[in-house]
């Protein structure tokens, strides 16, 4: 848990300003979206001018969150007093939204990733938190900020998403304690879980089938991976958002310690998701290729063909395992 005095100081400094732009990272997950929406919701109730930006559109399974429809894909405004990174440690992860952030007089970082630099004049960063939503909940709690049902739902969605429904290794007692408090404030865990994990369109299910049909493992069955081509996406009418959670299905195979999903988003550009168990740190692997994340879940982008990307990244994982 973060120092209470630091949380109080951070919030009081934020309240000195009137206009805010909050940026979610590209290929948004529930934590970046729900966390940003909760902060925006509370600030708007306090009379602040707030805009939330995400370069990529909000995936359908997160549109149930209150205010999700208010998230913009871009803005030409450059008059914000505060630019805030939510669930990201560097502006390179927010794409074109970085321009609005960098034009602001004051920069803020609220995150739970391992720090990769010291972005932000105001920082609330706790790598021990299960999700950025945990940091935000504690920021609100330390400052006696009212959390209504809408904000509770946004934070619960963020927490459920980043813990995989409280199944991932990052789940801890703090996560359960905060989930209980958010439930008491009106969040509905079962509805939130179904909305996030059990409301996939048929094209996403068919895409999962193709991914599972192309599974590969190394000779010693330590790493398992699959690739999705542009042709797969085109034939099924799918987008990269439909690949969400496929890597977790790959990781459900018994035996391998690392699971990887490769997606060809355009010719020569491969997005990569890595998951691990047994203590293997895939964040270290992702950082080799300019990405990052968490010890058990990370991602990066490689500019190469799908086959080349698979060879490079799998080789790096095996190299790290052997070291």
> What is the secondary structure of 150-203 as a DSSP string?
HHHHHHHHHHHHHTTTTTSTT--HHHHHHHHHHHHTT--HHHHHHHHHS---HH
Give yes or no: residues 210 and 318 share one domain: yes
Tokens of 320: 């790290």
Tokens of 179: 């989930």
Residue 292 has pLDDT above 90, yes or no: no
Going by their DSSP bridges, the two strands 82-86 and 106-111 should be labelled as parallel
Give yes or no: residues 20 and 95 share one domain: yes
pLDDT tens digits along 186-212? 999 999 999 999 998 899 999 999 999
Rounded to an integer, the average pLDDT of 103-112 is 96
Cα–Cα nearest to 282, from 123, 132, 187, 169? 169
Q: How confident is the model at residue 85 (pLDDT cuts 50, 70, 90)?
A: very high
**Last residue in a domain, options 159, 179, 197:** 197
Tokens of 88: 């990201």
CATH code: domain of residue 289: 3.10.310.30
Give yes or no: residues 223 and 145 share one domain: no
pLDDT tens digits along 114-141? 777 778 999 999 999 999 999 999 999 9
- pLDDT for residue 42: 98
Q: How confident is the model at residue 309 (pLDDT cuts 50, 70, 90)?
A: very high
Number of structural domains (the chain) is 2
Tokens of 113: 């990733």
Name the percent of the chain lying above pLDDT 70: 100
Higher pLDDT, 54 or 3: 54
d(CA 14, CA 198): 37
CATH code: domain of residue 106: 3.90.1640.10
Q: How confident is the model at residue 304 (pLDDT cuts 50, 70, 90)?
A: very high
Higher pLDDT, 27 or 115: 27
pLDDT tens digits along 225-259? 999 999 999 999 998 888 988 999 999 999 999 99
Question: Which residues, 6+ apart, have CB-to-CB distance to 242 below 8 Å?
Answer: 200, 201, 203, 204, 207, 233, 236
Contact 24, 53 (CB under 8 A): yes
Domain enclosing residue 246, as ranges: 202-322
Give yes or no: residues 128 and 238 share one domain: no
Contact 39, 22 (CB under 8 A): yes
Question: Which residues, 6+ apart, have CB-to-CB distance to 314 below 8 Å?
Answer: 218, 223, 225, 260
- pLDDT for residue 2: 78
Give yes or no: residues 234 and 129 share one domain: no
Residue 32 has pLDDT above 90, yes or no: yes
Give yes or no: residues 170 and 249 share one domain: no
Give yes or no: residues 193 and 206 share one domain: no
């Amino acid at each position: 848990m973060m120092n209470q005095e630091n949380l109080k100081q951070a919030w009081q400094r934020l309240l000195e300003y009137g206009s805010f732009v909050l940026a979610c990272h590209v290929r948004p997950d529930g934590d970046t979206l729900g966390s940003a929406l909760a902060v925006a919701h509370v600030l708007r109730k306090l009379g602040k001018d707030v805009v939330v930006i995400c370069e990529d559109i909000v995936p359908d399974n997160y549109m149930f969150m209150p205010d999700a429809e208010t998230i913009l894909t871009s803005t030409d405004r450059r008059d914000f007093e505060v630019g805030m990174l939510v669930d990201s440690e560097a502006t390179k992860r927010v794409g074109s939204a970085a321009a609005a952030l960098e034009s602001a007089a004051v920069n803020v970082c609220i995150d739970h990733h391992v720090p990769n630099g010291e972005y932000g004049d105001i920082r609330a960063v706790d790598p021990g938190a299960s999700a950025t939503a945990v940091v935000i909940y504690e920021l609100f709690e330390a400052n006696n900020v009212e959390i209504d049902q809408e904000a509770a739902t946004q934070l619960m969605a963020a927490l459920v998403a980043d813990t995989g429904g409280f199944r991932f290794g990052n789940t801890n007692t703090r996560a359960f304690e905060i989930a209980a408090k958010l439930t008491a404030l009106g969040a509905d865990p079962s509805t939130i879980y179904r909305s996030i994990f059990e409301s996939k369109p048929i094209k996403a299910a068919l895409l999962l089938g193709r991914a599972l049909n192309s599974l590969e493992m190394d000779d010693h069955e330590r790493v398992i991976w699959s690739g999705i081509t542009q042709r797969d996406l085109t034939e099924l009418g799918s987008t990269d958002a439909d690949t969400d959670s496929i890597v977790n299905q790959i990781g459900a195979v018994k035996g391998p310690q690392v699971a990887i999903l490769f997606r060809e988003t355009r010719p020569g550009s491969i997005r990569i998701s890595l998951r691990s168990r047994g203590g293997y740190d895939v964040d270290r692997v992702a950082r080799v290729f300019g990405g990052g994340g968490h010890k058990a879940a990370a991602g990066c982008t490689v500019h190469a063909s799908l086959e080349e990307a698979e060879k490079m990244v799998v080789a790096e994982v095996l190299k790290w395992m052997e070291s």
